[in-house]
Amino acid sequence: MQGAGKKMSQATGATMRSGVSPATAVEEGLSPNLQAHIGRHLRAAFDEIAREPVPERLLQLLKELERSGDK
């Protein structure tokens, strides 16, 4: 796993490399209505997946990890 420091420098590097021009008006953000509109769709898309049952193979992995911890 990456250390926090490494992770941070990588993320910063990625931001600079992406070369997005410094936003001015863009940073102002959308109207509250449009933000709410986007927020609803975003949550709907996310929740649709989050409502799905956890796949069996992931539950199985947890069981196996626990068994290995008991030994």
Write out the residues near other proteins by the rule CB under 8 A.
1-2, 4, 7-8, 10-12, 14-15, 18, 20, 23, 26-31, 33-39, 41-52, 54-55, 57-59, 61-62, 65-66, 68-70
Decide: residue 63, CB within 10 A, 0-12 exposed, 13-18 middle, 19+ buried: exposed
Residue 24 C-beta: closest distance to other proteins, Å = 11
The H-or-E segment that residue 64 falls in is: helix 56-70
Query: What type of residue is 40?
Result: R
